[in-house]
Structure 1
Amino acid sequence: MNKENFFSQLKEVAAIPGGPGNEMAVVERLIELFEPVADKVETDHMGNIYIFKEGHKPGPTVMVSAHSDEIGCVVRDIDSNGFIRVERTGGMIEALMVGRKVNVNGRFGVIGVKAGHLQTPEERKTTTSIYDLYVDVGVTSKEEAEGLGIKIGDPITYISDLERFTNEDLICGKAIDNRSCCVLLLELFKTLDSADFAGTLAGVVAVQEEVGLRGAKVAAHRINPDYAVVLDTIPCADTPDSIGSGYPVGIGRGPVIPALAGGSVRGNIMAPQMKELFINYAEKTGVPYQLAVMTGATTDVAAVHLERDGILSGAITFARRYSHSPVETAHLDDFAQGLELLLSLIKDNGSWGDMRFVKK
């Protein structure tokens, strides 16, 4: 993988506002990017993108998916002075919202903060509830805000361009979760020639993951693949506040294979045969990998594996620091190694061996 090209493509795609249910601009751009490298590209009423490439001979259908939405908010109310109250869509964290620049349906705004000079000692020690936060779009009345085209229900997302550290393999910005994997899926389609594999590669860019894995549920039912591989980013624990937590995952150490993710209701215990498949191919190709058990987070696999008669599914994920913040941080090498693993898997499609749960 050319890391420079990956970064520049991700920088463009991550900058596009696309909170849950409002991914239209992201979807439109991704369609433009996928069309030259696919046999067929389709969308559905939700906004899911379906990207197909046929191999050189018949074989299984493998779905490889990533989600397009980022965490965000919507306008809940506009007061008489034009200040906007918000409701979250996805994992917005109040402590990270104060003082941030935001995009309000295409208009610039900031999440206001009470001046420290006016705060009581008790206020300085507390986190303001999301229902007490407000967005300032630079107007003086409700009518003026509405004149900007801002209405109740309109999307709000962070403004935070993708940047590089002195170590240029480290990248930081908003929407790395999960535009990074949308670009990784694009790289997979760019790299694969139809002569390289058997069967059908069905790529999916799924909407509304951050509010309940909704798009992936619809997409998995529609495609009904033989196997599914979900690509996503995953929290890590390699910073001073998390080292020693019993969750040994860090950036720059290779793709993460989550053996268990999510809680008892909305989660996934990865099928053992899929876990072993990923491990075997990682070792075969020399790709470093990390195994993880993460009860506090989940991926679209939790929805995909429950569709139809049960879809044999697994996730290949990528560690990110500062999850669900405007400064998510990841390592380009992890994505390069993830692409190598994906290519080795897809090129052997139809030759994975006996994938039954009980082998007779």
Structure 2
Amino acid sequence: MKKITDSNLLNSIEELTNCFGAPGFEEDVLEIIKTKVNSKSIKTDSINNLYIGLDEVEDNKPIVAFDCHSDEVGFIVENINPNGSLTFLQLGGWYVGNIPAHAVLIKNRKGEFIKGIVTSKPPHFMTPEELQKLPKLNELTIDIGTSSYEETTQLYGIEVGNPVVPDVKFSYDEKIKVMRAKAFDNRLGCIAVIEVLNTLINKDLNINPVGIISSQEEMGLRGAEVAAKRVKPNFAIIFEGSPADDTFRDGNASHGALRKGLQFRTIDGGMISNLRVLNYARKIADEKNIPYQLIAREKGSTNGARYHISGSGIPTLVIGIPTRYIHTHYSYASLEDLKSAIKLALEIARNITKEEIESF
């Protein structure tokens, strides 16, 4: 098996997490991924899905899809005010308390990036009532430093509909092998798909591995719905930057801790896991000494929610990489957890058979 080096992984993670990829505006992410995959078959569709290896499938082998989503939570410009500030709508699920006083990047029609800050009224000007409550989303604006509509539009080319993402740069702590960045949800999944496909290329397998980099997951799993119908895989493995809970739950109450292995979802807001699939994955993980955690989530979902009910039903496994503070500007994730997720997917790909897939 190909050796995955930390330095190569980290370089790729840095490049992809620093990249701009709001829902519906994933092109920059896809262009980077195209340069990193060793496949002759790379296609996109009208919704910004990227398909890797789809034209290379052999008819007598089942298709196993390795899926992730390329988009990150962000915003979109809704209006430009007379004072030059921007009102905006959210792209993906945000808690309003995490939005004010943070730096953002706006991408204009020319592809230029303009820095801004989400406004926060100084407490000196707040009424006692304002000090006791969170602002509403429609009360927030983005300030790029201008003072008029004309400056914002003419000097910086900002228009209604321009996408916005957090302005955050990747960093890595070698002492604890923990990374900090934006967009771990789900550029970590993108890295996993790239590494899995590149390792499996030209290998003698019982399956057809197909990579799917899907779009607009944060807006209702839209890309995955299209991809599942187009590819029609026999089995789907979904990689996800999955919310960690170890900073607000202690001991055995925490099921999604950093540096304790990948996550298997038993249930979330969109899917109840197929027990036969889950037991198979756990068996492989146990045999190969791959650490994992079992989680049950009331809310949230992954692309698995679309795959497992597509067509006549697709057996689906969700492999999560625990990530602290997803859907905010800054997240933490463990390099070792990511490597565990990649290793498990590779072991499944190298060992699974058509008969085992049919047994699911």
TM-score, length of structure 1 as denominator length: 0.92
- The 1:120/1:166 distance shift into structure 2, 3 A limit, reads farther
Give yes or no for contact 1:277–1:352 (8 Å, CA) kept in 2.
no
The residue number in structure 1 matching 2:52 is: 51
Following superposition, the deviation at residue 125 of structure 1 comes to 2.9
More deviation in 300-309 or 46-55?
46-55
The residue number in structure 2 matching 1:201 is: 209
AA aligned to 1:205 is I
Q: Distance in 1 between matches of 2:357 and 2:125?
A: 67
Give yes or no for contact 2:188–2:321 (8 Å, CA) kept in 1.
no
Equivalent position to 2:77, from 75, 78, 84: 75
- The 1:56/1:308 distance shift into structure 2, 3 A limit, reads closer
Q: Secondary structure at the match of 2:94?
A: coil
Q: Distance in 2 between matches of 1:83 and 1:103?
A: 14
Following superposition, the deviation at residue 230 of structure 1 comes to 0.6
Within 5 Å, give how 1:189-228 maps onto structure 2.
189-228=197-236
- The 1:18/1:157 distance shift into structure 2, 3 A limit, reads same
Give yes or no for contact 1:61–1:225 (8 Å, CA) kept in 2.
yes
Equivalent position to 1:25, from 28, 49, 52: 28
Identity of aligned residues (%): 28
Q: Is 1:324 equivalent to 2:327 in the alignment?
A: yes
Give yes or no for contact 2:177–2:336 (8 Å, CA) kept in 1.
yes
Give yes or no for contact 1:253–1:288 (8 Å, CA) kept in 2.
yes
Q: Secondary structure at the match of 2:271?
A: strand
Within 5 Å, give how 1:276-295 maps onto structure 2.
276-295=279-298
Following superposition, the deviation at residue 69 of structure 1 comes to 0.2
Give yes or no for contact 1:160–1:326 (8 Å, CA) kept in 2.
yes
The residue number in structure 2 matching 1:111 is: 118
The residue number in structure 1 matching 2:16 is: 13
Q: Distance in 2 between matches of 1:92 and 1:238?
A: 20
Q: Distance in 1 between matches of 2:357 and 2:49?
A: 31
Within 5 Å, give how 1:104-143 maps onto structure 2.
104-105=106-107, 106-143=113-150
More deviation in 333-342 or 244-253?
244-253
Following superposition, the deviation at residue 110 of structure 1 comes to 0.7
Give yes or no for contact 2:262–2:338 (8 Å, CA) kept in 1.
yes
Structure 2: which 5+ runs fail to align?
108-112
Give yes or no for contact 2:266–2:294 (8 Å, CA) kept in 1.
yes
AA aligned to 2:142 is V
Following superposition, the deviation at residue 313 of structure 1 comes to 1.2
Give yes or no for contact 2:240–2:321 (8 Å, CA) kept in 1.
yes
Q: Secondary structure at the match of 2:137?
A: coil
Following superposition, the deviation at residue 165 of structure 1 comes to 3.0
Following superposition, the deviation at residue 166 of structure 1 comes to 5.7
Following superposition, the deviation at residue 41 of structure 1 comes to 0.8
The residue number in structure 1 matching 2:163 is: 155
Q: Distance in 1 between matches of 2:254 and 2:183?
A: 23
The residue number in structure 2 matching 1:302 is: 305
Following superposition, the deviation at residue 118 of structure 1 comes to 2.0
Q: What is the number of residues matched between the two proteins? A: 350
- The 1:279/1:355 distance shift into structure 2, 3 A limit, reads farther
User: C-alpha deviations, 1:282-323, integer Å up to 9, x for none?
Assistant: 111110111111112210000111111111112111111112
Q: Distance in 2 between matches of 1:353 and 1:304?
A: 18
Following superposition, the deviation at residue 130 of structure 1 comes to 1.1
